C-alpha cells in the first residue's frame, strides 16, 4: 500500500487519520494514483524539473502538491495548480491572464516570513495544458495542527503566546499592505510555525482564489438553458473573515486584522468562531471562555468591530497599541508585616537608646499582654501558675492568697520599671557624653562607635536597592527583547547598535547609558524608542536568517569574498554596492555615512554598518540565484531588446550584456522618476557612464569590450514598473573574453557606497 503524506511530507501508513509525526489531520484524498490526482501520479516529473510526492490540498481554484525540485538537489517545494471551475475558451483565457497578473504580485513579495514564489510554468498533461505556480516549502507545523495537538492534551495557547504571535505576524501584514496586497484568508491553517527559527510564516494568499471568483462572476458565460451565472467562489473562512468580505467580496487591510484577531481567540479558547459569536446579537462573546488581560482584550475587541470604520485601520496601529500593553495588576493578597514583640512578665521591654542627634521623646511602656502557658495535664494554665504543678489535685488559691500574689506582682512590676528607667538614663548619659566629645573633635576624626547594649539588638545595615522601574517600562523592555529574539540577533550586537545610534542622536551622552531612577526614566524611554526604530528597520529589511545571525561579525574578509563571488558572475562590486545602498537607504536615510559625517570605511566599521553588510550578503545570494542579476541577450538578427520589472522601495536589479569595443549603444529607461540608473563599463578603472542618475537615456560608442552593467534601483514608497530598452549596433557579434574585476580597485574606481 502507498503511504499517506501530510503537508510537511511525513509518510504515514494507509488508513492513518492523523500524521504520526506532527499530528496534522490527513486527507483521505491524498492518494498517489493518477485518477485521484487529476492525471498526476506519485513520482511523475512535471516541467522536466518537479517530482510529484503527494497532494496536500484542493479547492475551487485548483490543487496543491508537494514536490521535489530536481534542479535544487531534490529540495522540497509546493506546486499550486491553477484550474478554476470555469467553462468556455474566453473564461479560461481570462482566468490565465488574471492568474499570471496575480502571480506577478506574489512574486514581488520578498519577506522572510512569506514563502518565496519561484516561477510559473505550463505543462501538457493528458492532452491538456496545465498552469502551475511554484513556491518555497516551509518545514513546520500549522497553528491548526498545533492547536489540535494541544486539545488532545487538554491545553490551549497562553496569553503570552498569542501576544507574541501578533507581534511577529503584524509586521508581515504591514509589509504586504504597504505593497497594496491583502492576504484575505488568515486562519490557523494558513500560519505555519517554522522549525528552523520558530517564526510564524504566512501562507496561502487568497489572491489566487480571488482570480477564480472574478472569472466565475464576471467572465463565465450563461449556460445554454439561459440559466443564471454561477455564484462566485467564497473568499475567506466563515467566522474568520469579516461580513463585508464574505457578503460583498470587499477587502481592506483591516479585513486581515479582523481575521488575525479571530485566529488569536481560536488559539486562546480552543473554540471555533461560531462558538464564540452570539447567535442573536452576532457579536463576539469570548470572555465566557477565556480570561485575558483588559488591555489585550480591548485590542482584540477593536480589531473585531462589526463596523469597518471602528477597527484599527493598519497593522502599525495594532503594533503601537500592543507596545503600550501593561499586564494586569497582581491582586494576590499581600502578607501583613509581623507584629511587634509583646512584653510579658518573663520579658522586659527595653527602650532603644536615643539617637545622638535627636531629642528623646518620652513614651509610656507598652501594657503587658497575657500569654498562654504550655498545656499541663490537658488543662490550659493561665498567667497565675498552680502552686503545686505535680499535685494531682491542684489547690485553688484563696482570696487572701490572691491579694498577696497581686501585691507581690505589682511590686515586681514597679522594680522592673525602675530598673528600665535607670538603665535608660545611664545609656542616655553615656551616649550624650560621647556625642558631645565627638562633636568637639575635628571633622577629620570619625565619631567613636558605641558598642550595643547587651540587652538590645544591634542595628542591621540594610543595603539600598535601586529604585524600581515602572511596570510600563518593564513591559516596554520585555517587548523589545521579544522582538530581538524573534529576529535572532545577538544581545551584544543589539546593545552596541542601540548605543551607537543613541549616542549619534544624543552626542552629549556619548559613552554613557541612562542610569536607574525616576529622574532618568525619560532618557531611558528615548533610548528604548531608538531601539524600537532599529528593530523596525531590521524587520523591514527582510534579511535572511543567516544574514541576521551574522550581524556583528562582518568584516573586510567578507567584502573581499563577495567581490570575488560576483566577479565570477561578471558583476562588479560597485554594482553590488549600488543594490546594497538602495536597500539600506530605504530603511533610514539619516543613518547613511554622509549624514553621520563618516567616510564609507569608517561607516563599515561601525555597528550600524553591519546592517549594510547583511544586506550585501543577501544581495550576493540573490545575484547567484538569478533574482537580482540577469543577462541581456539579443535574438539573432536583432539589434534591440527590452527587459522589464516591478520594483518596490529599496529594490534593484542588475543586468549585464557582453558587448564589443566601438559599438554604438543607446539605452532608454521608461519608468517612474524615482528609479535611478547606473551604467558601468567592464573595467573599474574607467568611470561610470551613468551612476545613480535620474537621467533616463544614454547613447555613445563603447570604449571597451566586455560585460557592461545596467543597474536599476527604486526609491519610491510604492511599487513601480520600468522598462529598459537597449539598442546596440551589431549586437550579435561576440566580443573577446575579458578579465574579471581586479581584487583591489584603483583609486579612480567608484568603490564607495552610501
User: Which residues, including other chains, have CB under 8 Å from residue 317's CB and lie 6 or more apart?
Assistant: none
Cα dihedral across residues 586, 587, 593, 596: positive or negative: positive
What count of residues does the chain have? 754
Torsion angle in degrees (nearest 10) through CA of 680, 631, 547, 510: 20
**Are 181 and 205 in contact, with CB atoms under 8 Å apart?**
yes
**Residue 532 CA: distances (Å) to CA of 399, 514, 669:** 83, 16, 38
Which cell numbers hold the place of 289?
A: 471562555
State the catalytic residues: 185
Give the three-state DSSP class for 195: coil
Q: Are 553 and 600 in contact (CB under 8 A)?
A: no
Phi-psi region of 701 (alpha: psi -120 to 50; beta: other; left: phi over 0): beta
DSSP characters for 274-287? HHHB-TTT--B--T
**E-assigned strand segments in 379-508:** none
Q: How many CB atoms lie within 10 A of CB 569?
A: 19
Alpha-carbon distance 501 to 534, whole Å? 9
Residues 6+ apart with CB under 8 A from 306: 242, 243, 282, 283
DSSP 715-739: --SS-EEEEEEEEETTTTSPPPP-P
Grid cell at residue 442: 575635628
Terminal-residue alpha carbon distance, the chain:
61
Q: Is 536 exposed, middle or buried (0-12, 13-18, 19+ CB in 10 A)?
A: middle
| Separation between Cα atoms, residue 136 and residue 327, nearest integer Å | 38
Does residue 750 contact residue 684 with C-beta atoms inside 8 Å?
yes
Inter-CA distances, 41 with 34, 210, 431, 511, Å? 4, 28, 101, 66
Taking CB atoms within 8 Å and a gap of at least 24, the contacts of 89-97 are: 90/219, 90/221, 91/215, 91/216, 91/219, 91/220, 91/221, 94/215, 94/219, 95/211, 95/212, 95/215, 95/219, 96/131
Gap between the Cα atoms of 17 and 26, Å rounded:
5
Amino acid at each position: 500500500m502507498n503511504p499517506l503524506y501530510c503537508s510537511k511530507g511525513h509518510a504515514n501508513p494507509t488508513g492513518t487519520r492523523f500524521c504520526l509525526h506532527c499530528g496534522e489531520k490527513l486527507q483521505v484524498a491524498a492518494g498517489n494514483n493518477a485518477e485521484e490526482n487529476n492525471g498526476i501520479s506519485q513520482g511523475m516529473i512535471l516541467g522536466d524539473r518537479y517530482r510529484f510526492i503527494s497532494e496536500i490540498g484542493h479547492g475551487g481554484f485548483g490543487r496543491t502538491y508537494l514536490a521535489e525540485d530536481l534542479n535544487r538537489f531534490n529540495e522540497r517545494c509546493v506546486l499550486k495548480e491553477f484550474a478554476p471551475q470555469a467553462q468556455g475558451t474566453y473564461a479560461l483565457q481570462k482566468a490565465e491572464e488574471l492568474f499570471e497578473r496575480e502571480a506577478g504580485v506574489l512574486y514581488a513579495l520578498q519577506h522572510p516570513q512569506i514563502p518565496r514564489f519561484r516561477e510559473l510554468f505550463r505543462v501538457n498533461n493528458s492532452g491538456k495544458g496545465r498552469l502551475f505556480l511554484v513556491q518555497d516549502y516551509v518545514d513546520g507545523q500549522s497553528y491548526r495542527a498545533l492547536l489540535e495537538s494541544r486539545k488532545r492534551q487538554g491545553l490551549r495557547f497562553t496569553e503570552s503566546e498569542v501576544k507574541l504571535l501578533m507581534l511577529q505576524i503584524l509586521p508581515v501584514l504591514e509589509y504586504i499592505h504597504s505593497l497594496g496586497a491583502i492576504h484575505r484568508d488568515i486562519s490557523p491553517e494558513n500560519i505555519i510555525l517554522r522549525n528552523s527559527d520558530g517564526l510564524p510564516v504566512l501562507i496561502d494568499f487568497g489572491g489566487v482564489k480571488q482570480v477564480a471568483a472574478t472569472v466565475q462572476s464576471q467572465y463565465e458565460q450563461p449556460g445554454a438553458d439561459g440559466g443564471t451565472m454561477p455564484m462566485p467562489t467564497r473568499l475567506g473562512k466563515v467566522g474568520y473573515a469579516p461580513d463585508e468580505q464574505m457578503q460583498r467580496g470587499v477587502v481592506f487591510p483591516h479585513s486581515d486584522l479582523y481575521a488575525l484577531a479571530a485566529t488569536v481567540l481560536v488559539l486562546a479558547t480552543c473554540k471555533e468562531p461560531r462558538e464564540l459569536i452570539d447567535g442573536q446579537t452576532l457579536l463576539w462573546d469570548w470572555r465566557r471562555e477565556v480570561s485575558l488581560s483588559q488591555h489585550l482584550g480591548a485590542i482584540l475587541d477593536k480589531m473585531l468591530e462589526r463596523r469597518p470604520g471602528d477597527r484599527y485601520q493598519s497593522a502599525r496601529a495594532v503594533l503601537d497599541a500592543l507596545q503600550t500593553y501593561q499586564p494586569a495588576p497582581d491582586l494576590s493578597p499581600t502578607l501583613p508585616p509581623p507584629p511587634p514583640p509583646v512584653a510579658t512578665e518573663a520579658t522586659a521591654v527595653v527602650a532603644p537608646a536615643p539617637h545622638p542627634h535627636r531629642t528623646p521623646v518620652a513614651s509610656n511602656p507598652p501594657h503587658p499582654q497575657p500569654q498562654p502557658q504550655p498545656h499541663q495535664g490537658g488543662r490550659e494554665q493561665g498567667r497565675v501558675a498552680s502552686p503545686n504543678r505535680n499535685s494531682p489535685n491542684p489547690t485553688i488559691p484563696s482570696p487572701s492568697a490572691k491579694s498577696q500574689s497581686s501585691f507581690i506582682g505589682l511590686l515586681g512590676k514597679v522594680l522592673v520599671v525602675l530598673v528600665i528607667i535607670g538603665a535608660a538614663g545611664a545609656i542616655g548619659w553615656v551616649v550624650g557624653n560621647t556625642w558631645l566629645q565627638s562633636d568637639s573633635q575635628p571633622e577629620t576624626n570619625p565619631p567613636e562607635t558605641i558598642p550595643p547594649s547587651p540587652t538590645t539588638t544591634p542595628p542591621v545595615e540594610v543595603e539600598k536597592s535601586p529604585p524600581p522601574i515602572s511596570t510600563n517600562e518593564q513591559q516596554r523592555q520585555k517587548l523589545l527583547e521579544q522582538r530581538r529574539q524573534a529576529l535572532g540577533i545577538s544581545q551584544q550586537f543589539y546593545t552596541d547598535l542601540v548605543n551607537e545610534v543613541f549616542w549619534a542622536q544624543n552626542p552629549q551622552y556619548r559613552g554613557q547609558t541612562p542610569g536607574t531612577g525616576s529622574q532618568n526614566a525619560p532618557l531611558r524611554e528615548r533610548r528604548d524608542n531608538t531601539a524600537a526604530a532599529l528593530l523596525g528597520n531590521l524587520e523591514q529589511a527582510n534579511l535572511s536568517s543567516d544574514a541576521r545571525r551574522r550581524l556583528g561579525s562582518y568584516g573586510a574578509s567578507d567584502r573581499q569574498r563577495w567581490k570575488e563571488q560576483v566577479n565570477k558572475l561578471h558583476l562588479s562590486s560597485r554594482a553590488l554596492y549600488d543594490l546594497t545602498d538602495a536597500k539600506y537607504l530605504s530603511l533610514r536615510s539619516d543613518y547613511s555615512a554622509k549624514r553621520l559625517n563618516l567616510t564609507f570605511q569608517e561607516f563599515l566599521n561601525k555597528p550600524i554598518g553591519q546592517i549594510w553588510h547583511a544586506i550585501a550578503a543577501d544581495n550576493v545570494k540573490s545575484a547567484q540565484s538569478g533574482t537580482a542579476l540577469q543577462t541581456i541577450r539579443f535574438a539573432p538578427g536583432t539589434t534591440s531588446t527590452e527587459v522589464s520589472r516591478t520594483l518596490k522601495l529599496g529594490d534593484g536589479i542588475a543586468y549585464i550584456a557582453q558587448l564589443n569595443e566601438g559599438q554604438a549603444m543607446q539605452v532608454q529607461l521608461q519608468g517612474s522618476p524615482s528609479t535611478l540608473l547606473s551604467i558601468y563599463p567592464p573595467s573599474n578603472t574607467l568611470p561610470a557612464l551613468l551612476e545613480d542618475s535620474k537621467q533616463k537615456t544614454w547613447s555613445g560608442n563603447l570604449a571597451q569590450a566586455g560585460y557592461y552593467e545596467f543597474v536599476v534601483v527604486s526609491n519610491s514608497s510604492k511599487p513601480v514598473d520600468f522598462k529598459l530598452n537597449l539598442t546596440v549596433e551589431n549586437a550579435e557579434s561576440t566580443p573577446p573574453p575579458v578579465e574579471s574585476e581586479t581584487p583591489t580597485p584603483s583609486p579612480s574606481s567608484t568603490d564607495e557606497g552610501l
